[in-house]
Amino acid sequence: MTKTKETKLARSKQLNQAIAFTIFRLLSYFIVAILFIILTFIIMKGVKVVNWNFITQMPEEGMTKGGIYPAIIGTLCLVAGSMIFAFPIGVLAAIYMNEYVKDGIAKRIIKQMTNNLAGIPSIVFGLFGMSLFVNKLHFGDSILAGSLTLGLLALPVVIRTTEEALKAVDNTFRQASLGLGATKWQTIRKVVLPISFPNIITGLILSIGRVSGETAPILFTVAAYFLPKLPTSIFDQAMALPYHLYVISTSGTNIEESRPIAYGTAMVLIIIVLIANLLANGLRKYFGNKVKMN
């Protein structure tokens, strides 16, 4: 090639790259902008309503005034309940799948089933939960039924993220451990789990985020429109933030008047998820440092 042809080619390659990177940058900003717009919108509308009273008081006057305290408590109970069910089972299942099962047909089938489970629409989970937990097992509309249903929803997320976390652990550590006479389970407990723990916690965050905002699974398993008292046992019904938001926006006693409360509810829900994310990120960093030290 001649000198001028060379430089022309080089310059056009640079130009193409610059264009491509600019497009990527704009797209990234666009995504951040969307998130920013949603958050700003909700916060601007909700901040008129959200204050300490809002968070700590019961609803009054047909949900047009007062607070959303019972919905907050309900959501926290359901999230905790679903995690108590989904986290241990999910992590153990992932350990079994990744560390024990040999590659083959059985493993592929189980993996496919897990993926299918993740794709089931949440309302179908709700229906299933109602049939099994509420009716067949006679738990009734209850925190127990709701937690189990939400737990099922969260299970594939926990399993998948835990599996990825385990896969990311370099095999050389397992070999070193087994080479010293450790059993498989000792290797998992003392080497693999500590290393993958931060990423497993990330999976926990994702599940919490997923579960706090789910409306369909709690529709027929636990959620109540209005309860004068807080739940006192796992067999009680509960109010919940996403359901509360839905109800007062569509079929409450006075939709227009309740609208500010709806925005306040949305804002509180977002804040809870945000706090969960921050907390889990903090835990992740803490354990990430500890991993090198133990």
Partner 1 sequence: MYKIESKNVDFFYGTSQALKNINIAIMQNTVTALIGPSGCGKSTYLRLFNRMNDLIGNTKLNGQILIDGDDIYTKGVNVDSLRKNVGMVFQKPNPFPKTIFENVAYGLRVNGVTDKKIIEERVETSIKQVVLWDEVKDKLKKSAFELSGGQQQRLCIARALAIQPSVILMDEPTSALDPISTSKVEELIYELKTKYTIVIVTHNMQQAGRVSDTTAFFYLGELVEYDNTKTIFTNPKIERTQNYITGRFG
The answer to whether residue 182 forms part of the interface with partner 1 (CB under 8 A) is: yes
Which listed residue (58, 191, 227, 255) binds partner 1 by CB under 8 A?
191
Provide the minimum distance between the beta carbon of 173 and partner 1 in the complex, in angstroms, as a whole number.
6
> Are 263 and 38 spatial neighbours (Cβ–Cβ below 8 Å)?
no
In the complex with partner 1, the residue whose CB is nearer, 178 or 255, is 178
Which listed residue (179, 229, 233, 256) binds partner 1 by CB under 8 A?
179
Terminal Cα distance for the chain, rounded: 60
In the complex with partner 1, the residue whose CB is nearer, 103 or 256, is 103
The two structure tokens encoding residue 254: 């006075």
Which of 15-23, 108-116, 145-153, 175-183 is the region at the interface with partner 1 (rule: CB under 8 A)?
175-183
The answer to whether residue 80 forms part of the interface with partner 1 (CB under 8 A) is: no
Which of 149-157, 177-185, 246-254, 269-277 is the region at the interface with partner 1 (rule: CB under 8 A)?
177-185
CA distance 29 to 135: 48
Binders of partner 1 in range 109-128 (CB under 8 A): none
The answer to whether residue 103 forms part of the interface with partner 1 (CB under 8 A) is: yes
Provide the minimum distance between the beta carbon of 170 and partner 1 in the complex, in angstroms, as a whole number.
8
Number of other CB atoms surrounding residue 197 within 10 Å: 17
The answer to whether residue 5 forms part of the interface with partner 1 (CB under 8 A) is: no
Which residues are registered as beta bridge partners of 69? none
Which residues are registered as beta bridge partners of 60? 65
The answer to whether residue 178 forms part of the interface with partner 1 (CB under 8 A) is: yes
Which of 36-44, 91-99, 242-250, 286-294 is the region at the interface with partner 1 (rule: CB under 8 A)?
286-294
Which residues are registered as beta bridge partners of 59? 66
Provide the minimum distance between the beta carbon of 177 and partner 1 in the complex, in angstroms, as a whole number.
7
Which stretches of 96-235 are DSSP H helices? 105-119, 122-129, 143-167, 171-179, 184-187, 193-212, 216-219
Which listed residue (140, 194, 209, 213) binds partner 1 by CB under 8 A?
194
In the complex with partner 1, the residue whose CB is nearer, 250 or 294, is 294
The answer to whether residue 100 forms part of the interface with partner 1 (CB under 8 A) is: no
Which listed residue (15, 18, 23, 291) binds partner 1 by CB under 8 A?
291
> Are 31 and 220 spatial neighbours (Cβ–Cβ below 8 Å)?
no
The answer to whether residue 168 forms part of the interface with partner 1 (CB under 8 A) is: no
Which listed residue (3, 5, 102, 229) binds partner 1 by CB under 8 A?
102
Counting residues that bind partner 1 (by CB under 8 A) gives 23
**Contacts of residue 223, Cβ cutoff 8 Å, sequence gap at least 6:** 74, 141, 146, 237, 238, 239, 240, 243
CA distance 159 to 151: 12
Our measurement of the distance from residue 122's CA atom to the centroid of its chain's CA atoms, rounded to an integer in Å, reads: 13
The two structure tokens encoding residue 39: 């958050």
The DSSP secondary-structure symbol of 100 reads: I
Which residues are registered as beta bridge partners of 66? 59
Task: Summarize as ranges the residues that interact with partner 1 (CB under 8 A).
Answer: 102-103, 170, 172-173, 175-183, 186, 190-191, 194-195, 291-294
